[in-house]
Chains A and B, each alone.
Chain A
Amino acid sequence: MASDIVLDVRDLRMRYGRRDVLDGVSFAARRGEVLALLGPNGAGKTTTIEILEGFRMRSAGQVSVLGADPAHAGEAWRARIGVVLQSWRDHAKWRVSELLSHLGEYYAPYSAPGLPRPWDTGELIAAVGLTEHARQKVRRLSGGQRRRLDVAIGIVGRPEVLFLDEPTAGFDPEARRDFHDLVHRLADRDEATILLTTHDLDEAEKLADRILILAGGRIIADGSADELSRRMSTQAEVRWSRDGQRFVHSADDPTRFVRELFRQYGESVADLEVRRASLEDTYMAMVRQAESGRERGADADAARRFSVVTG
Chain B
Amino acid sequence: MNASWTAVRLGLRRGWIEFKQTLTNADSLVPMVIMTVAFLGVMLLTRTTTVPGTHFSLGTTMLTSVLGMSIGVNVLTSMGGLLAAEREDGTLLRAKAIPQGMTGYLVGKIVSVSLISLIGVAGTLVTGVFLFSGLALNSATDWLTLMWVLALGLVATLPIGAILGSLFPSARSAGLMTLAVGGIVAISGIFYPITHLPHWLQWAGQAFPFYWLGLGMRSALLPTSLAVVEIGHSWRHLATFGVLAGWAVTGLTVAPWLLRRVARRESGSSVAARREKAMLRVG
Sample of 19 more A-B contacts, CB < 8 Å, known A76-B99, A86-B271, A109-B6: A53-B267, A85-B93, A86-B90, A88-B89, A88-B275, A90-B94, A91-B94, A102-B13, A103-B98, A105-B6, A106-B6, A106-B7, A106-B10, A106-B98, A106-B101, A106-B104, A153-B94, A154-B97, A157-B98
Nearest residue in A to B25 (C-beta to C-beta)? A93
User: Which of A90, A98, A108 has the most chain B CB atoms inside 10 A of its CB?
Assistant: A90
Q: Which residues of B contact A75 (CB under 8 A)?
A: 3, 99-100
Which residues of A in the span 14-57 have a Cβ within 8 Å of any Cβ on B?
A: 46-47, 49-50, 53, 55-56
A184-B267 Cα distance, complex, nearest whole Å? 27
A/B interface sample: 30 pairs, CB < 8 A = A46-B268, A47-B269, A49-B268, A50-B268, A55-B93, A55-B96, A76-B3, A78-B97, A79-B99, A85-B90, A85-B94, A85-B97, A86-B271, A90-B94, A91-B91, A93-B18, A94-B17, A98-B17, A102-B13, A102-B14, A103-B98, A105-B6, A106-B6, A106-B98, A106-B104, A107-B98, A108-B6, A109-B6, A157-B99, A165-B268
Contact A86 B272 (CB under 8 A): yes
Q: Which residues of A contact B (CB under 8 A)?
A: 46-47, 49-50, 53, 55-56, 75-76, 78-79, 81, 83, 85-91, 93-94, 98, 102-103, 105-110, 153-154, 157, 165
Q: Which residues of B contact A93 (CB under 8 A)?
A: 18, 21, 25
A90-B267 Cα distance, complex, nearest whole Å? 15
Q: Which residues of B contact A50 (CB under 8 A)?
A: 267-269
For B1-35 the 0/1 string (1 means CB < 8 A from A) is: 01100110010011001100100010000000000
Is B266 on the interface with A (CB-CB < 8 A)? Answer: yes
Is B86 on the interface with A (CB-CB < 8 A)? Answer: yes
Q: Which residues of A contact B86 (CB under 8 A)?
A: 90
Nearest residue in B to A153 (C-beta to C-beta)? B94
Selected from B91, B99, B266, the residue in CB contact (under 8 A) with A106 is: B99
Q: Which residues of A contact B98 (CB under 8 A)?
A: 78, 103, 106-107, 157
Known A106-B104, A110-B3: A85·B268 in contact at CB below 8 Å: yes
Q: Which residues of B contact A47 (CB under 8 A)?
A: 269
A49-B73 Cα distance, complex, nearest whole Å? 41
A93-B104 Cα distance, complex, nearest whole Å? 18
Contact A102 B99 (CB under 8 A): no
Nearest residue in A to B21 (C-beta to C-beta)? A93
Contact A88 B14 (CB under 8 A): no
Nearest residue in B to A154 (C-beta to C-beta)? B97
Selected from A53, A56, A102, the residue in CB contact (under 8 A) with B10 is: A102
Known A55-B268, A110-B3: A87·B90 in contact at CB below 8 Å: yes
Contact B269 A109 (CB under 8 A): no
For B24-57 the 0/1 string (1 means CB < 8 A from A) is: 0100000000000000000000000000000000
User: Which of A46, A56, A106 has the most chain B CB atoms inside 10 A of its CB?
Assistant: A106
Contact A90 B90 (CB under 8 A): yes
In the A-B complex, the 7 residue pairs with the smallest Cβ-Cβ separation, listed nearest first, are A55-B267, A79-B99, A90-B91, A109-B3, A75-B99, A93-B21, A78-B99
Q: Which residues of B contact A87 (CB under 8 A)?
A: 90
Q: Which residues of B contact A98 (CB under 8 A)?
A: 17
Query: Least Cβ distance of B215 to chain A in Å?
Result: 36
For B174-188 the 0/1 string (1 means CB < 8 A from A) is: 000000000000000
Q: Which residues of B contact A108 (CB under 8 A)?
A: 6
A2-B104 Cα distance, complex, nearest whole Å? 36
A90-B271 Cα distance, complex, nearest whole Å? 11
Query: Least Cβ distance of B3 to chain A in Å?
Result: 4
A81-B98 Cα distance, complex, nearest whole Å? 9
A93-B97 Cα distance, complex, nearest whole Å? 20
Query: Least Cβ distance of B280 to chain A in Å?
Result: 14
Nearest residue in B to A117 (C-beta to C-beta)? B99
Q: Which residues of B contact A103 (CB under 8 A)?
A: 94, 98, 101
Contact B90 A102 (CB under 8 A): no
User: Which of B10, B17, B86, B267 has the most chain A CB atoms inside 10 A of its CB?
Assistant: B267
Contact B99 A85 (CB under 8 A): no
Q: Which residues of A contact B6 (CB under 8 A)?
A: 105-106, 108-109
Q: Which residues of B contact A88 (CB under 8 A)?
A: 89-90, 271, 275
